[in-house]
């Protein structure tokens, strides 16, 4: 059984795979070394890959280094199933890299646009399933709402909420502007890509997928566990490379 760990600033998402099949995924908040040891001993884990967008804790780092199974950290220095044609690869976020490796897994010979709707919205393009070219970074839902509050004197800070297109008070107008405005942006970006690239696949992932999915007019694939799938794809790719040498 493979384990992927997506390590953020406040939480870690753990996903278990049997070959390419996702078995279980959960969010954990362990800090103590003993908790991490109990976690790893509770499952028949045979290999691990992790991605650290946040600061990895000393306790987790210690436990990972003590495991008697292969442990990889995602980086551009690993063997990857895709080529990176990005001008500053050392600044590339590992979440974006994992998403591209998952796009290769699902569409190995076709071009794919991955839209990750989280704190920021990232648009990343994989050409013909093999070459990562780059993309875009745009403000996410919560960031748009916070910006309208912080950069004005009278607009309140409101929470993201699914509302009708036409807001009927200040709160719902802000919510509609952020939500429907972002959905319209996503549709516009997809249309622009489809004008340039035929047979384009589009994958939507990230925390705001549920809020946006029904508002996007273009055909998309929603994959909530895309980053974990990408991590697992890189893990299997590296293990296969080692076995062939």
Q: Are 230 and 168 part of one and the same domain?
A: yes
Taking the C-alpha atoms of residue 68 and residue 171, their distance in angstroms, rounded to an integer, is 54
Higher pLDDT, 24 or 9: 24
Active site residues: 95
Q: Are 54 and 138 part of one and the same domain?
A: no
Q: Are 65 and 179 part of one and the same domain?
A: no
Residue 102: enclosing H or E segment and its boundaries?
helix 94-106
Q: DSSP readout, 185-240?
A: HHHHHHHHHHHHSSS-EEEEESTTHHHHHTT--S--EE-TTHHHHHHHHHHHHHHH
Q: What integer pLDDT is reported at residue 29 of this predicted model?
A: 80
Query: 18 pLDDT band (50/70/90 cuts)?
Result: very high
Count: domains in the chain: 2
Q: What integer pLDDT is reported at residue 234 of this predicted model?
A: 97
Q: Which residue has the tokens 């972002």?
A: 182
pLDDT digits (tens, 9 = 90+) for 19-56: 999 999 999 887 778 888 888 888 899 999 999 887 88
Tell me how crowded residue 87 is: count the other CB atoms within 10 A of its CB. Answer: 7
Q: What integer pLDDT is reported at residue 30 of this predicted model?
A: 78
Size of the chain, expressed as the number of residues it contains: 245
Q: What integer pLDDT is reported at residue 11 of this predicted model?
A: 81
CATH of the domain at 114: 3.30.420.40
Q: What integer pLDDT is reported at residue 121 of this predicted model?
A: 97
Average of per-residue pLDDT across 4-9: 87
pLDDT digits (tens, 9 = 90+) for 80-108: 999 999 999 999 999 999 999 999 999 99
Provide the domain limits for residue 35. Answer: 1-73
Query: 143 pLDDT band (50/70/90 cuts)?
Result: very high
Q: What integer pLDDT is reported at residue 243 of this predicted model?
A: 65
Residue where a domain terminates, one of 73, 101, 121:
73
Q: Are 45 and 123 part of one and the same domain?
A: no
Q: Are 47 and 87 part of one and the same domain?
A: no
Q: What integer pLDDT is reported at residue 152 of this predicted model?
A: 97
Q: What integer pLDDT is reported at residue 132 of this predicted model?
A: 98
Q: Are 98 and 199 part of one and the same domain?
A: yes
Taking the C-alpha atoms of residue 35 and residue 32, their distance in angstroms, rounded to an integer, is 5
Q: Are 112 and 69 part of one and the same domain?
A: no
Whole-model pTM: value is 0.93
Q: Are 59 and 84 part of one and the same domain?
A: no
Q: What integer pLDDT is reported at residue 85 of this predicted model?
A: 96
């Amino acid at each position: 059984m493979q384990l992927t760990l997506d390590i953020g600033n406040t939480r870690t998402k753990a996903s278990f795979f049997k070959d390419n099949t996702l078995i279980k995924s959960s969010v954990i908040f362990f800090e103590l070394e003993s908790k991490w040891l109990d976690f790893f001993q509770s499952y028949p884990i045979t290999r691990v890959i992790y991605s650290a967008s946040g600061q990895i804790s000393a306790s987790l780092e210690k436990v990972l280094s003590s495991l008697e199974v292969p442990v990889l950290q995602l980086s551009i220095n690993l063997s990857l199933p895709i080529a990176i044609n990005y001008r500053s690869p050392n600044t590339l976020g590992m979440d974006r890299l994992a998403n591209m490796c998952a796009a290769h897994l699902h569409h190995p010979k076709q071009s794919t646009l991955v839209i990750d709707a989280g704190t920021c919205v990232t648009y990343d393009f994989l050409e013909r399933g093999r070459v990562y070219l780059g993309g875009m970074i745009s403000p996410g839902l919560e960031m748009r709402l916070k910006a309208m509050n912080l950069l004005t004197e009278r607009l309140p800070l409101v929470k993201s909420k699914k509302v009708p297109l036409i807001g009927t008070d200040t709160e719902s107008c802000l919510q509609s502007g952020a939500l429907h405005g972002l959905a319209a942006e996503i549709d516009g970006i997809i249309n622009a890509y489809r004008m340039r690239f035929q047979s384009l696949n589009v994958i939507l992932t990230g925390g705001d997928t549920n809020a946006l999915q029904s508002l996007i007019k273009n055909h998309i694939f929603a994959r909530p566990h895309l980053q974990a799938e990408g991590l697992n794809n890189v893990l299997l790719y590296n293990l296969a490379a080692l076995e062939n040498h």
